[in-house]
Structure 1
Amino acid sequence: MSAPTQTAPASAGYGRVFAVPEFRAVFAAHVLSMLGVIVSEIALSVLVYDLTRSPLLSALTFALGFLPYAVGGALLAPLADRFPARRVLVACDLVCAACAALMTAPGTGIGLLLALRCALAVVSPVFSGTRMATLADVLGDGDLFVLGRSLLRIVAQSALLTGYGLGGLLLTVVGPRHALLITVSTFLASTVLLRCGTRRRPARARRGTDTAPGLRPLLAGPRVRVLLLMFWVPAAFSVVPEALAAPYADDLGSGSAGLGVLMCALPAGTVAGELFAGARLGPQARERVALPLLCLSLLPYLGYALRPGLALSLLLLLLSGAAAAYTLGLDQWFVRAVPEELRGRSMTVLHGGLMTVQGVGMALAGAAAQVAGVRTAVAGAGAAGVLCCCALAVAARATESRDGAARNMTGR
């Protein structure tokens, strides 16, 4: 088991995590990376539309942010363990900065812009997976890791609430190519923070005994496979209301204001749920509520079958988002189940798969709504999702003896 590089004081909640200097560097780099990604998505979408006047190509720039995650997560995952983590993180940030810099060149054509967008998406799961694995080195693989990972998720969800609005305001002041220069600077600043704020550690593959290439060592155990599905399957269903927010707001007659609050409700509930679970619940309590919350997380979507108005729809989305606090318990189980020498590739596969299933879920949501209508599609996603989550909870119980053994061996 990894130990934190710095001993944190026994204060409550998230304050313990910020007491670790290396985590502060990782956290600041994450904020800058999120800022860069958001600005690049908005600026590139506007730039492509300005060049082509094509809504399809403009929307495609967002779709390309999801699809290549499967490639990066599957093919490049072993790199996260084969090389020192700090070197991988710095290299990924430099590649992203170079791609964003090329986007700013005046003569860059549409084909190259979309190819560079794909390159950013391919690199992203390797960076995110390596960063999450580094958290276990910095904070240990116990409660501090769970809280640190929770904080990074909260930043990502908060970015959904505020980032796109601020990015839109930015583009009223500067053009899209100038906005992309901000993306370059944020990636470079993240590089400096990670290079100077974290210490060098050897590659994980050299620390353990399993250096086999590919994903086979990771997926060999049923416990890890079940836990990966517990992260991925609910996410594929949970994005359905977000994917259908625009037509649903139109059905409600709530206009752009209603669309905005519908898009914010789910991430707002997620942030609130994670903050409460991280600050008010202890490690054992978070693990005890993980499976019940998992089974309940998609249940509010069934309320769409009752044709709710805007206010009730927002409440249903807030409740579903808050139940996503089950991920804090899953985080602890996952880091406990994966051998240290496979931790980098495991986090890369987890993140790459998560983004991929969300993209697939959005596409399937649109197809279902086209056939059955928006409310039926959301309610159907809730029903199917609840059944899948309950089945996964049963599978998790069947494999939990592995976690129990690990807990006894580490003294937790």
Structure 2
Amino acid sequence: MSTANEAAPAPPAPADGYRSVFRVREFRPVFAAHLLSVLGIVVAEIALTVLVFRTTGSPLMSALTFALGFLPYALGGTLLAGIADRSPARRVLVGCDLVCAACAAAMVLPGTPVAGLLLLRCAMAFVAPLFQGTRNATLADILGPGEAFVLGRSLMRMVAQSAQLVGFGLGGLLLTVLAPRAAIALTAAGFLCSALLLRFGTAARPARAAAARTSPLAGMRAVLGERRLRALTLLFWLPPVFVIAPEALLAPYADGIGAGTAALGVMMCALPVGTVAGELWAGSMLGPRTRSRLVAPLAAAGMLPLLAYAARPGVVVVLAALLLTGLAGAYTLGLDQWYVDAVPDELRGRAMTLLSTGLMTLQGVGMALAGLAAEFLPVHVVVTGAALLGTAVVVLLLAELRCAGGPARGPRNETDSAAK
């Protein structure tokens, strides 16, 4: 049996879905660390927003605190991507967690000014894409680049989606019994626990490409220069730009149709609930070949339910449309397999870092564009237009992927035991 200081061989593909992934010894601490980190970030965002607002009395500064969770992603992911391949993965992961723990601890100090709080929030967001990309690349080492990797990635996404729903409620409850700085102290403790889990629960692996000391732009060219890999990357990046439109505009839409705050809260949960349900269905009920075959139809049809917005519907129809769009997100499991098959091993860290960076950055761009369009057009028109344009973009990307050589080489040494 391997120790935590020796890289274990990749396990065979799981035979019974998500349960088999948890049987992999190294995956369990990685999953627990991810859960702690995500909950910590959500709690920190709420507590920091409240702290800044109480200190300044400014809604703008409070909103800026949330925005700073998105803005540094593009810069950090671009400048730091090369580190994911030329440094040992465990060292990178532990180092990022310690940076975030130190930033959170500094926020707790009573004398930290508002400018300092915002700068520390930027620092946490700056290293986040490096952490996420390195962790995702390491998952392929721990689980193997096949079925187990796809299910592991799916679990990570479901945790992130669920943590947003649970974390905001948990953060609100914490702030009824704790001061904001005390809640942020829990975040610091969470990052420290995550660092310990990763340091002592995962194997030490050498750098993926010790000589890969390239400039950030060279790293982007290496990942995006190959036609098929570029098409796959864009297929991850661009659909969320359009899918985010109804979420970004739910508050004004609910106000426009006379829905109350309770209805708004339920509608805000519909898309992430649908996404988690879709991932669970695809991961539990479908095999790798079936998921691969469903990528194109689900991706192409995923935004079509949002066309219901054209009739300016009520709450029930909006809930159904958002839920169906979330369910269609199940195509990402098959897309994960295509992507990991397409990325050379020596580029995996950079590719995963850039993938995370683009996803987060472009969702922010999508929110901003949806808000800008809604300044000039009714919300239901904006969402309908986003659905039409997004569907056209996905169809074009699928056509480009086919021209670039097909979807993928297929699942590696695996059989599809699911019902066809």
Q: Same fold (TM over 0.5)?
A: yes
Deviation at 1:163, TM superposition (A): 1.2
Structure 1's 205 and 9: CA in aligned 2 closer, same or farther, altered over 3 A? closer
| Inter-partner Cα distance in structure 1 for 2:325 and 2:56 | 39
Question: Which structure 2 residues correspond to residues 216-235 of structure 1 after superposition, within 5 A?
Answer: 216-235=221-240
Output the amino acid matched with 2:120. L
Structure 1 residue 252 displacement after superposition: 2.3
Residue in structure 2 matching 1:246, options 228, 244, 251: 251
Pairing of 1:23-172 with structure 2 (within 5 A): 23-172=27-176
Structure 1 residues 117 and 49: CA distance shift in structure 2, 3 A: same
Offset at residue 32 of structure 1 (A): 0.3
Partners of 1:259 and 1:349 lie apart in 2 by 33
Of all paired residues, the percent bearing the same amino acid is 59
1:238-289 Cα deviation digits (max 9, x unpaired): 1111111111121122221111111100000000000000000000110100
Q: What is the distance in 2 between the residues matched to 1:261 and 1:375?
A: 18
Instruction: Decide which structure has greater helix share.
Output: 1
Q: Output the CA distance in 2 between the equivalents of 1:393 and 1:315.
A: 26
Is residue 2:388 matched to residue 1:383? Answer: yes
TM-score, normalized by length of structure 1?
0.95
1:198 to 195, 202, 209: 202
Displacement after TM superposition at 1:67 (Å): 1.2
| In 2: Cα distance, 1:400 partner to 1:92 partner | 37
Q: How far apart, in 1, do the equivalents of 2:14 and 2:259 lie?
A: 48
Deviation at 1:347, TM superposition (A): 0.5
Instruction: After superposition, give the CA deviation of every residue in 1:98-139 in whole Å (9 maximum; x if it has no partner).
Output: 111111111111111111111111110000000000000000
8 Å CA contact 1:46, 1:58 repeated in 2: yes
CA RMSD of aligned residues (A): 1.6
Q: How many corresponding residue pairs?
A: 405
The offset of 1:307, in angstroms, is 1.1
Contact 2:137 2:352 in 1 (8 A): yes
Structure 2 unaligned residues grouped into runs of 5+: 1-6, 415-420
Indicate conservation of the 8 Å contact 1:337/1:402, yes or no: no
Other-structure match for 2:297: 292
More divergent stretch after superposition (248-257 vs 197-206):
248-257
Paired AA for residue 71 in structure 1:
L
Aligned to 1:281: 286
SS at match of 1:205: coil
> CA offsets, 1:7-60, max 9 Å, x none?
358531111101101001100000000011001100110011001111111011
**Amino acid paired to 2:263:** G
Structure 1 distance, partners of 2:407, 2:158, is: 29
C-alpha contact 1:78 1:345 (8 A) present in aligned 2? yes
The answer to whether structure 1 residue 263 and structure 2 residue 233 are counterparts is no
Change (3 A) 1:4 1:368: farther
Say whether the 8 Å CA contact 2:82–2:212 is kept in structure 1: no
